[in-house]
Amino acid sequence: MQTVTRRPLTPPGRAASTPRGLGRRRHQQLSERLAEQNQHLAAAAMAPPQELLNEYQSSLRGLPPLGVARAEERFGRNEVSHDRPAPAWWQFLTAFNNPFVLILCVLAVVMLFTDVIFADPADGPSYKGVITLGIMVLVSVSMRFWQEYRSGKAAQSLQSMVQTTTAVTRQNEYGEPVTTELPIEEVVPGDIVELAAGDMLPADLRFLRTKDLQINEGMLTGESLPTEKSPVTAMDVDQQNLLEADSLGFKGTSVISGSGTALVVHTGADTYFGAMSRELTGKRPETSFDQGVKKVSFLLIKFMLVMVPLVFVINGLTKDWTSAFLFGLVTAVGLTPEMLPMIVTANLARGAVKMSKRQVIVKRLNAIQNLGAMDVLCTDKTGTLTEDRIVLERHLDVHGTSSLKVLRMAAANSRFQTGLRNLLDRAVLDAAGPEVLSELEGAYSLIDEVPFDFSRRRMTVVLDGGSAPLMITKGAVEEVLEVCSTVMLKGHPAALTPARRRELEELVAGQNAEGLRVLALATATATRREDYSVQDEREMTLLGFLAFLDPPKESAAAAIAALHRHGTLVKVITGDNELVARTVCHQVGIADDAGLLTGVELEALDQDEAAFAEAVERNTIFAKVNPMQKARIVEQLRSNGHTVGFMGDGINDAAALRAADVGISVGTAVDIARESADIILLRKDLTVLEAGIQEGRRTFGNIIKYIKMTASSNFGNMFSVLVASALLPFIPMIPVVVLLQNLVYDLSMLSLPWDKVDQEYLEKPQKWESKGLARFMLTIGPISSVFDLSTFALMWFVFGANSNDQAALFQSGWFVESLISQTLIVHMIRTGRIPFLQSRASWPVLLLTGAVCVFALVLPFSDFGQGLGLVSLPWTYFPWLIGTLAAYCLLTQGVKQLFIRRYGRWL
């Protein structure tokens, strides 16, 4: 056998820095790593046990103390890489990593120099601007930090794992074998482990001895049924399908029944589980939400880079350069949606709170919006579409008709066996029910049994219930047919001719085509004695067949139909076989009209990117795919322009969970799946997801409201400032008042997370559109400028505020009109309907926007406002104000209807 070469583990606490989406290169690297490990495992499966023990310098007595020490030094602890949360101070600092927050920080520093350090000695230092900007920054950053820190803590509590131990046989100092329970982290290559029902496999293993051993490998394969294991040396092993090797076991899988002894071959990062975990930890790249925020941010920054220099130059040429510089800074603040990070976080945090009441933990707040934008949901089959349990779907006679006698005899076989019952036995007993079982217990008693073994793949009980003992055999179809000479036809035995055998095989094939696993059932009358053996299983009569299935969830079909109605297409990606996948999908309403693709077919398309992209787009069911193919499918869908969610809970789902825009797992999932996910469901149900998608769209609607409201009004205000700067002999608005106006308006926007969203907005996926935002700004922003200019004319010609002496009156009149119109427009923009009549804002929005309007009216008359430089307005101003605001609302509503008619959407 070839030497098993290994590489050292990643040091504990260090995680490789890898992107969220593996990408083609990462796929290749991980595939090469897995191929190398598969080669080692294939060699182990084909090596005789003693040769393999010699290779690892071990024996059935276990490793000697010196061998354990050497293995620990060479391979390290049996641990895999995990993402570790950053310290709180680092999370707080990263909350500053936002372009708008950074702009405000720069402006605050500039104001510190201009208004405080180098202030005019005659006026003294002014801290108003610095304090106002500081409050904006701290409130935004602190809120974002707290919400994400708290969400991270909640998710981390789910990920804490109880220490798991395993029975390990090692030699003591006298060379005697001693079996003790050790933490799985202390297991090393060469160790001998003892396995029993309920144990988790601590590493990748080569079985040396088994007794009725069945392993649940669902987290790797996606299949519900357990896998039978044996120590038989494989003659040939397909490295692409190592999970089918009977003599190998894999870390993280668990023992359903039976017992076994195994040699540890790979530990830690060298296991299949470890390789996946190591490649999937570290930094995640941007999702569609992150990219959308960035596009919007840079769009607004581009406007700022154009407007601010213009305002500065125009004011500098027409007035003095010092006041022009200060007003230029204030203009930059006015164009900055400084509360965007906080408003986004507040909306997402409220969404997270509402989802937590539905048993959903949101690990990454941005994932809520991604749920709303998701137009394709990829999901595994087991436990999501199905109940993740085996049921006896049919009990058929040899004609293919339902037979109570077949059910009764199968229940007797399962009830009286003395070994550990597997999932199929439990399904038979559940189908029979307590009345039938009670009747059987009264009618029969156990004489003997011939236990199940992997070579003959059947088990027999011998029961006493009449004049002669009754043998009942249940097992794999081929193996049961081998011991049958007759079949039960219409209540009488008939010879099992080749023609009848072909008919039976066709019947079984039909059941298999529907995704059912079929066992055969046979009986015979035996001669009475004490002991029975395999040789007694002969000349039996075939009674019929038992067909098993992991049934679909009752809620799955309705949930999928609801997802489709709301614009989210469901695609199934499973490691299970195509027959089972197709059957379950048909039962829950997922059609495969374009066909079904298997992993082998996908591999054939791997080199043709265009064909691969088209196949992934067209098909809705993907069966028998490996973990890397799952991730490739998800990434290809994202490349095709979709916002993709993936739902899974196994090791084989981890790569796809990280590749998706939003990864969804469950609280009972393996730890690597929970780590890779963005959202964790405490109840694995698509109905919960459908509600989450609606919540995501509502959250996004309220976020986009703020962006469009603020961007358009700020753009309109600054356009007005540009015109005023060119025409007026004085600064059109007091700089500190501009800062105060922005702060008060933005504080009122904190009510938006509690606002309602029109029902039609929730009917389809919602995505970021930076181009749409620019179009919106250019359409709606100038409307406010029209009425700003009318207010300029009003103050200049009607109220005589046309000189430096009357600048304060002009600035006060524009402040009141500007703040009230900016706040009133909130109700115009928040809905595509007629505000107040067809769509009314929530009470928090009504109260806070109303309070801002009152504040605008009162401030010029207050001592505080007059301390800022404002003056009282004449009462004759207010009828003009009412007319201006009414005309503003009517014109905005008219433009809104034209905009919706032209572009088909509003928000």
Q: What is the DSSP letter of 835?
A: B
Instruction: Measure the CA–CA gap between 239 and 237, rounded to whole angstroms.
Output: 6
Phi then psi for residue 248, to 5 deg, are -115, 145
CB atoms under 10 Å from CB of 875, counted, come to: 7
Instruction: Measure the CA–CA gap between 510 and 604, rounded to whole angstroms.
Output: 28
DSSP states along 173-241: TTS-EEEEEEEGGG--TT-EEEEETTPBP-SEEEEEEEEEEEEE-HHHH--SS-EE---PPPS---GGG
Phi then psi for residue 461, to 5 deg, are -115, 145
Instruction: Measure the CA–CA gap between 511 and 823, rounded to whole angstroms.
Output: 66
Instruction: Measure the CA–CA gap between 597 and 614, rounded to whole angstroms.
Output: 12
CB atoms under 10 Å from CB of 669, counted, come to: 27
Extended strands (E) in 695-798: none
Q: Would you call 688 exposed, middle or buried from its count of C-beta atoms within 10 A (0-12, 13-18, 19+)?
A: buried
Four-point Cα dihedral 303, 305, 306, 312, nearest 10: 130
Q: Would you call 152 exposed, middle or buried from its count of C-beta atoms within 10 A (0-12, 13-18, 19+)?
A: middle
CB atoms under 10 Å from CB of 17, counted, come to: 8
Q: Residue 595 to residues 481, 533, 573, 599, 637: CA-CA distances in angstroms?
A: 34, 48, 14, 13, 17
- Ramachandran region, residue 448 (left: φ > 0; alpha: ψ -120 to 50; beta: rest): beta
Q: Residue 620 to residues 247, 377, 563, 570, 581: CA-CA distances in angstroms?
A: 35, 10, 14, 7, 11
DSSP states along 610-652: HHHHHHHHH-SEEES--HHHHHHHHHHHHHTT--EEEE--SGG
- Say how many Å lie between the first and final Cα of the chain, rounded: 67
CB atoms under 10 Å from CB of 838, counted, come to: 10
Instruction: Measure the CA–CA gap between 546 and 528, rounded to whole angstroms.
Output: 28
Four-point Cα dihedral 265, 270, 274, 278, nearest 10: 180
- Report whether 577 contacts 417 (CB < 8 A): no
212, 380, 649, 685: which one is catalytic?
380
CB atoms under 10 Å from CB of 11, counted, come to: 9
Positive or negative, the CA dihedral 410, 412, 415, 420 is negative
Instruction: Measure the CA–CA gap between 542 and 523, rounded to whole angstroms.
Output: 7
Coil, strand or helix at 681: strand
Residue with token string 């004489």: 447
380 is catalytic: yes
| 522, amino acid identity | A
**Which residues partner with 662 through β-bridges?**
645
Please tell me the chain's helix, strand, coil percentages from 3-state DSSP, rounded to the nearest 5: 55, 15, 30
**Which positions ≥6 away from 57 have C-beta within 8 Å?**
63, 67, 190
Residue with token string 């993740």: 388
Instruction: Measure the CA–CA gap between 9 and 18, rounded to whole angstroms.
Output: 17
Active site residues: 380
